[in-house]
């Protein structure tokens, strides 16, 4: 019985090894769907698509720079919220608006954070200050956010929505 089990393991190992060797040596022919899906092993760089140079035969991985730029900005997009979560977020708007309207002009990022946390928002971030508008984002631990701006002039905006794709409530500038 041991010899039979050992022989089966040896055969299984041989099959797996042969399969890996065939895959590694590129047995997929040019008409194989794998050949189209797997980048060439000779490409050592990426290069942008050009209307003046055909993509075929280039020794690089060709990409669409406009598409990449658009995808790169997706981190700022907000995840949609359910009606129930929107109702929950809406309850914060009036008290947060009143608290931020009551801040001195000009105000500081610390004052904004304290006002947000005093209204039940535990995760607060700010950007700006020192003579510039203060962007802020805050959450209560749900997947929803309040966000807006406290302008140097004292004008306040408060909006609601889901977290951004990166997570959190405030998209970093230049991120």
User: Under 8 Å CB-to-CB from 15, ≥6 apart: which residues?
Assistant: none
With a cut of 80, say whether residue 38 has pLDDT above it: no
Q: What is the dihedral of CA 95, 98, 100, 106, to 10 degrees?
A: -170
- In DSSP notation, the chain reads -HHHHHHHHHHHHHHHHHHHHHHHTT---TTSHHHHHSPPTT--SEEE-BTTB-STT-SSEEE-HHHHHHHHTGGGPBPP--HHHHHHHHHHHHHHHHHHHTS-SS--HHHHHHHHHHTT--EEEEEE-SSS-EEEEEE-SSSEEEEEEE-TTS-EEEEEEEPBTTSSSSPPTT-
With a cut of 80, say whether residue 150 has pLDDT above it: yes
Q: Report which of 129, 136, 132 is spatially closest to residue 157, judged by C-alpha positions.
A: 136
Question: Can you tell me the mean pLDDT for 114-142?
Answer: 94
* CA dist., res. 134 & res. 136, Å (int): 6
Q: Answer yes or no: are the C-beta atoms of 121 and 159 closer than 8 Å.
A: no
Domain residue extents for the chain: 1-38, 41-69, 74-162
Q: What is the pLDDT of residue 1?
A: 47
pTM: 0.60
Q: Report which of 44, 17, 148 is spatially closest to residue 89, judged by C-alpha positions.
A: 148
Sheet order of strands, 123-128 included: 123-128, 134-139, 144-150, 156-162
| Average pLDDT over all residues of the chain | 80
With a cut of 90, say whether residue 56 has pLDDT above it: no
């Amino acid at each position: 019985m041991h010899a039979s089990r050992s022989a089966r393991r040896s055969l299984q190992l041989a099959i797996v090894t042969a399969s890996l060797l065939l895959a590694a040596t590129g047995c997929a022919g040019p008409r194989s769907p794998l050949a189209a899906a797997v980048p060439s092993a000779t490409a050592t760089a990426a290069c942008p698509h050009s209307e003046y140079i055909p993509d075929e035969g280039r020794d690089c991985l060709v990409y669409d720079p406009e598409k990449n730029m658009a995808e790169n900005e997706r981190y700022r997009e907000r995840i949609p919220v359910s009606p129930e979560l929107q109702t929950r977020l809406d309850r914060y708007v009036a008290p947060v608006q009143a608290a931020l309207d009551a801040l001195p002009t000009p105000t500081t990022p610390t004052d904004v954070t304290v006002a947000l946390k005093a209204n039940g928002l535990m995760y607060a971030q700010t950007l700006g200050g020192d003579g510039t508008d203060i962007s802020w984002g805050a959450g209560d631990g749900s997947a929803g956010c309040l966000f807006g701006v406290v302008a140097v002039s004292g004008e306040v905006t408060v909006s609601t929505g889901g977290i951004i794709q990166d997570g959190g409530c405030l998209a970093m500038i230049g991120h």
